[in-house]
Amino acid sequence: MRIDVVSIFPDYLAPLGLSLPGKAQDAGLLDLHVHDLRQWTHDRHHTVDDTPYGGGAGMVMKPEPWAEALDAVTAGSETAVLVVPTPSGRPFTQTVAAELAAREHLVFACGRYEGIDQRVIDHARTTMEVRELSIGDYVLNGGEVAALVVTEAVVRLLPGFMGNPDSLVEESHGAAGLLEYPVYTKPASWRGLDVPEVLLSGDHARIAAWRHEQAVRRTAERRPDLLPPSSALADVEVRAVRPGDAGELLTLQRACWVQESWTNPGCELDALTETLDDVRAWIADGTTLVLVSGGRLVGAARGRLHAGRWDVSRLMVAPDLQGRGLGRLLLSRIEQTAPAEVTELELFTGAGSVRNQRMLRKAGYRPRGEAPPGVLRMAKRRR
């Protein structure tokens, strides 16, 4: 990838020669050029600004030096994308970073003063792709810092740059769309603060479940805007079932089983015909946890001792909230309620319930043992 940056403060971009972009250049992945805009002025004072038409405070950057600069750095380049940092730009996001990382040539126009004469951008749009981007809802004094931010976010996505591209998947704003879970390293105890025991357990399924739970919790608490608007989670709470939950549980159960009947025709639908009393009966037998968000009961999971095994059932998440790890959250919590002597955890799910089976595999469960027709028994050892 080639990157050209034009600014009246070219030294501001010196950090691009360090760390990430620096390594990318050494690796031949990045061809970086920083230019001083004033080299495209022709008066003794190398003037790049003038007073704003219509009056008002400050100065505006003149179009002529910019036009010459952009003509020079895009000469012969059919693929150049002009990136103009501006507080009035579209939000710069990980998605935009990925889009720009697929381009061959980026040109950053770093403005100062009150900004660049708008005709420079409007004219550039007639010959090339232009992205007016903002890195955040606060005001900077110029575009250079934004150019540094965008360049780092883009260069680290360049194919062949990250040692382990998988690490990009788990990141905040990555494919899962969740914030990152908390991380820890040695020592296991520091200033009286201990690393969460699950991380020392070696139980990769439990660790994955815990990390997911933390990611969901953090996202719901810190960035509910990242969660699907239809189901913005105000606050996520997992608690023991109460008798008064029976009504909402019946509604949730029917909603989930209707959906299951669509995605897994032929699955047993007894739960659909259960009554309020039936629900009251099963929440009174075994351990049932419910997931509450914004005062709404949106999920549940039940555990019961069965032949020495912890039999997990009634794992439900409201249809409009599925696909965001809440099932994993409930599963990891109901697993933790199993009596100490339990060595195996088991579930029965629809033989055609592909999504459920994928989630269970991620949690360490594998198809095991006998089950009625159309049903799959999945189990895992509990270490």
What are the residues binding ligand JD8 (CB under 6 A)? 85-87, 89, 111-112, 114-115, 134-136, 138-143, 146
Structure tokens at 120: 């420079």
Report the nearest approach of ligand JD8 to the CB of residue 143 (Å).
Answer: 4
In 3D, which of 12, 176, 28, 32 has the Cα closest to residue 94? 176
85 versus 325: smaller Cβ distance to ligand JD8? 85
Alpha helix (H) residue ranges in the chain: 19-26, 63-74, 94-101, 118-124, 144-155, 166-169, 204-222, 246-263, 276-283, 326-336, 354-362
Quick check: bond before 91 cis, omega within 30? no
The full DSSP string for 57-126 is SS-EE-HHHHHHHHHHHHTT-TTEEEEEEEEEEEEP-HHHHHHHHT-SEEEEE---TT-B-HHHHHHHTT
- Shortest spacing between CB 85 and ligand JD8, in angstroms: 3
As measured in angstroms, the least distance from the Cβ of 137 to ligand JD8 is: 7
Query: Nearer to ligand JD8 by C-beta: 21 or 115?
Result: 115
Q: Which residue do the tokens 């608690």 mark? A: 239
Both tokens of 67, joined, read 């036009």
CA 190 – CA 275 distance, rounded (Å): 53
Q: How far is the CB of 132 from ligand JD8 (least distance, A)?
A: 9
Nearer CB in complex with ligand JD8: 115/303: 115
Nearer to ligand JD8, 114 or 274 (CB): 114
Q: Provide the token pair at 114.
A: 């009150």
Question: Least distance in Å: CB of 174 to ligand JD8?
Answer: 22
Of the two residues 136 and 187, which places its CB atom closer to ligand JD8 in the complex?
136
Name which of 17 and 91 has its Cβ closer to ligand JD8: 91
How far is the C-alpha of 362 from the C-alpha of 209, rounded, in Å?
A: 9
- Residue with smaller CB distance to ligand JD8, 10 or 87: 87
